[in-house]
Amino acid sequence: MPDLKGRVALVTGGSRGIGAAVAAVLAAAGAAVAVNYRERAADADAVVAAIKGKGGRAIATAADVSQGAAVAKMVADVAAALGPIDILVNNAGVAIVRGVDDLTEADFDATIAVNLKSAFLCTQAVLPSMRAKKWGRIVNISSGAARGAGSIGPHYNASKAGMEGLTRGYAARLVKEGITVNAVAPSLIETDMMRGRSDLAQRIPLGRMGQPDEVAHAVLMLLGNDYMTGQTIALSGGMAFN
């Protein structure tokens, strides 16, 4: 486990599922954690309470991360409460299940805004503090749908493929400034997003869905590796190989 004492982390969409698991492991490694949420205040507060109960530092911070002004205020609020952000985990996402014939322009726009634009906005907002320290870690939570067919729809595929392109683009341009940018691409993780879809586990050679903490530990591995940047770590239980 990397030593993250003295580091400040922001986890978007951190109130449940993968985001909550990531917040917990970052706090266990010593980071102060800001748990972002949009609507689930009680869930975010529960994540914060669990971290504090183990002696960690954490706050909940409300923001629609698809909106630039809201992101700027959130980053300023986190800096005031915990300190400048060193670690960003772009986890906020939406999964609007649609077939090709049911997919609307509004569905597409909402998916791109929450899944992709938010990663851009949050990254831009935290770069000044990372550059000032010449150290930063950005991890984007992508999906196996970035490269495979997926089960949600082509709009979701596009948003996650775009996130991996964003990862590589930032990594190439920030590598000399002490900032690494990587992605983790889980497939079929047992979260609220997959509730009622246990039938999908039949596709997985391992025989079960992945767990949020398994994704969180992949994130933690990237935070402790100074030499890895611009990469996507896939977790698929053997469904696909990079």
The residues assigned a catalytic role are 156
Which pair of structure tokens corresponds to residue 98?
């649609």
Residue written as token pair 């917040």 = 23
Side-by-side strand order, sheet with 87-90: 58-62, 32-37, 8-11, 87-90, 136-141, 179-186, 232-235
SS3 assignment for 138-156:
EEEECCHHHCCCCCCCHHH
| Cα dihedral sign, 21-27-31-35 | positive
Which pair of structure tokens corresponds to residue 88?
């960003």
